[in-house]
Structure 1
């Protein structure tokens, strides 16, 4: 009688344990941003005195993100940018952009973005709310993101890609240079392709 009761209890514990394991949510996969293959970019655009639009990019950055298509709101993003890699295709201008008038690269050589929350708009569109640290200042920003696609690559890996954009105000990040009312904000455009770890 004792052995039968013990056996029943053991079976019941095993069944409950199995159900618990089956009900656990799948963990999001981690992706490394593919900067090595140049399949990602951080671009910017700002009006120059209101007469034209200056575009450029940051050539050196790295980061990771987690993503589960069944639960995109649980995703996370972490990016580090070498501000000294700013490239507007003009050497003298880039030297000025690295100075204390703008990015203050000598004092603050890195900018970072760390996500805090994901807000779904629909299946493949969402807002990433997180902290951008730039020029020694940390501010919350929102990046509007659209999923481009995901799937296997020809080399046996798995990839996921997204496009994002946001606008930041220069004075919010202690940028001293003032080029007039038309040049107060910068649009950031992000193209991110990650390789699953």
Structure 2
């Protein structure tokens, strides 16, 4: 049964998706789901080596499978609708939807699946999985951490906020346009708050 979620919003220094870990017994895990109406999935690029821009995906679905007794055995799956991009720069959304970048007509979805490596603690742990963009699948690593855990009197429950970040090379996914103006390295970030 899905647990309700609260999604924390935060201005991010960097710009896919969440805490992950080696799966444990499915019978002991709880399923958490969230999407773009309650979550934040962002990407950040550098421009000309001096400026940066942060955009977000407004339509995605994520599932976390968490063993409350072993939180470092979490698994995650995230599916992103690539056309649902929001970025403040004029013309940027059309450029990112074009064949030179996400090519949303031919590749309407991107996907991340992964699991924690079992190393670290809630203060900082490693995630390993695969990221698929434009039909190309490559290994993708993320660093995750527990940002905050507090009692919410209104909800009568504890809320745990997690963050995860990772860096990808867009050229590895066939996105080589505008290489003089836009960095090859793109940072992906997810923030999520769970009722635990």
Aligned to 1:122: 121
Gaps of 5+ in 1: 1-23
Does the 8 Å contact 2:125/2:143 carry over to 1?
Answer: yes
* Partner SS, residue 91 of structure 2: helix
Aligned to 1:107: 106
Q: Closer, same or farther in 2 for the Cα pair 1:70/1:149, shift >3 Å?
A: farther
Deviations for 1:44-101, whole angstroms, at most 9, x for unmatched residues?
1111122311211111111110122432332100111111011112352110110011
Q: Distance in 1 between matches of 2:63 and 2:151?
A: 18
Give how far 1:158 is off.
Answer: 6.6
Q: Distance in 2 between matches of 1:102 and 1:122?
A: 36
The equivalences for 1:9-88 within 5 A come to 27-33=28-34, 35-36=36-37, 38=38, 40-88=39-87
Q: Closer, same or farther in 2 for the Cα pair 1:98/1:142, shift >3 Å?
A: same
Larger Rg over CA atoms: 1
Aligned to 2:13: none
Q: Distance in 2 between matches of 1:132 and 1:101?
A: 19
Count of residue correspondences? 171
Deviations for 1:5-50, whole angstroms, at most 9, x for unmatched residues?
xxxxxxxxxxxxxxxxxxx9971221112543x3x21111111122
The equivalences for 1:89-108 within 5 A come to 89-108=88-107
Q: Closer, same or farther in 2 for the Cα pair 1:86/1:34, shift >3 Å?
A: closer
**Which range moved further: 83-92 or 55-64?**
83-92
Which structure has more relative contact order (CA 8 Å, sep 6+)? It is: 2
CA RMSD of aligned residues (A): 2.6
Structure with bigger strand share is 2
* Partner SS, residue 107 of structure 1: coil
Q: Closer, same or farther in 2 for the Cα pair 1:68/1:149, shift >3 Å?
A: farther
Structure 2 residue 162 is the aligned partner of structure 1 residue 162: yes
- TM normalised by structure 1 equals 0.75
- TM normalised by structure 2 equals 0.76
Q: Distance in 1 between matches of 2:69 and 2:193?
A: 19
Q: Distance in 2 between matches of 1:140 and 1:119?
A: 17
* Partner SS, residue 171 of structure 1: helix
Q: Distance in 2 between matches of 1:176 and 1:67?
A: 37
